[in-house]
Amino acid sequence: MHTTLWPSLKQMSIIECPKVQIFTRQCPVSQVGISNQQPLFCVNEDTFPVLEELTLKTNDMVKGICDGQLSLQCFQNLKHLNLRFFPETSTTLPYSFIRSLPKLQKLVINNASISEIVRSEGLSEEERHTLVFYQLKDLRLSQLPQLTLKTFEPSLLSFKNLTTLKVSRCHGFINLIACSTAKCLRLLERLSIDDCEMIEEIIACKAEEIQGGIVFPKLKYLQLSCLPRLASFSLADHSLEFPVLLMVKVTKCPKMRNFCQGDLSTPRLEQMHLTRDEEGELQWEGDLNTTIKHMFDEMNVQNSEVTEVTDQLPKLE
């Protein structure tokens, strides 16, 4: 077992090491004949003083985190955490684990069975009102089939500094974010939603939340791709403002009738185009809502023409 210090190590990746315990805070007494069962690192606050990026791709280690058996309190300076491939672990990230990473700026979770980002059950009243991840800037979620709007709603997470949000292959979502969450995303610059089969709208608003519009002051790039049930960015009747939006890409969203129901402001998008599919760009129709509607109508015309031609073909006896 290594007990050395790593004063200059900034990046570490642990990929598919199922039979090795990597970290422990309890340094076992060395015994003859069991050295192969000892952890690789006995860690404390001084072991990895400047480690900024950690990638874990191993089911047992991530399971240890989710079960509360493995703490990352020795990684106080960690800025980027990548948790990958733990489909057999059906749980959540514990609150104690989240609080142990005060400087985290980027979180990537890929191919997991977690139903919540942060487990709130069993917390004290004070803990329930203490936000975590307040420095988080980049959140990327992929292949999380059990994650839904109700469990994704970040009651414990602070998204006020989030600049990038990417969600892909999360088929449990019907809506992505609640209205109250959307109003907090004032620094968001990039939003990408891809291959989520059940999603019907991006922002879900309750009747009592409709008063006042939603402004995305910093959003420059928006991508909506392979969303077969998406009807609109928001189905509620409220205004949306994107003062600096420069690029919108819409690909394979066959049920998207318009961008939103209420007033829409995209003053910097006047010269931009939308992507209808991989074959080419759709002509700009003066505003985003009209262009989306034109895309929807054009696809319906094409589908009806195909149906008409098919109906006229001779039937085989």
Identify which has the larger pLDDT, 116 or 268: 268
pLDDT-based confidence at residue 316 (cuts at 50, 70, 90): very low
pLDDT at position 42 is 74
Q: How far is CA 111 from the centre of its chain?
A: 12
CA 252 – CA 40 distance, rounded (Å): 48
Instruction: State yes or no: pLDDT of 269 exceeds 80.
Output: yes
pLDDT, tens only, 91-136: 667 677 777 788 999 999 898 877 777 665 665 656 555 566 778 9
Instruction: State yes or no: pLDDT of 315 exceeds 60.
Output: no
Residue with tokens 């006020």: 160
pLDDT, tens only, 9-18: 999 998 877 7
Sheet holding 247-251, edge to edge: 11-15, 53-57, 80-86, 106-112, 138-142, 164-168, 190-194, 221-225, 247-251
User: What is the residue extent of each domain of the chain?
Assistant: 1-121, 163-307
The closest alpha carbon to 22, from 8, 47, 46, belongs to: 47
CA 221 – CA 99 distance, rounded (Å): 31
Residue with tokens 């991530």: 62
pLDDT, tens only, 181-237: 888 899 999 999 999 999 999 998 876 666 778 999 999 999 999 999 999 999 888
CA angle at 137 for the pair 46 and 260, rounded to the nearest 5°: 160
> Residue 169: how many CB atoms within 10 A of its CB?
16
pLDDT at position 222 is 94
pLDDT at position 310 is 37
Query: What's the first-to-final CA gap in the chain, in angstroms?
Result: 76
Q: How far is CA 255 from the centre of its chain?
A: 23
The pLDDT > 70 percentage for the chain reads 66
The chain-wide mean pLDDT, for the chain, equals 77
Q: How many residues does the chain have?
A: 317
Top-confidence range, 100-104, 125-129, 280-284, 296-300: 100-104
Instruction: State yes or no: pLDDT of 79 exceeds 80.
Output: yes
CA 25 – CA 119 distance, rounded (Å): 24
pLDDT at position 202 is 94
CA 239 – CA 129 distance, rounded (Å): 30
Instruction: Give the β-pairing of 280-282 and 274-277.
Output: antiparallel
Contact 238, 258 (CB under 8 A): no
pLDDT at position 191 is 97
Backbone φ and ψ of 23, nearest 5°: -115, 150
pLDDT at position 228 is 95
pLDDT at position 164 is 97
The closest alpha carbon to 265, from 192, 202, 210, 215, belongs to: 215
pLDDT-based confidence at residue 273 (cuts at 50, 70, 90): low
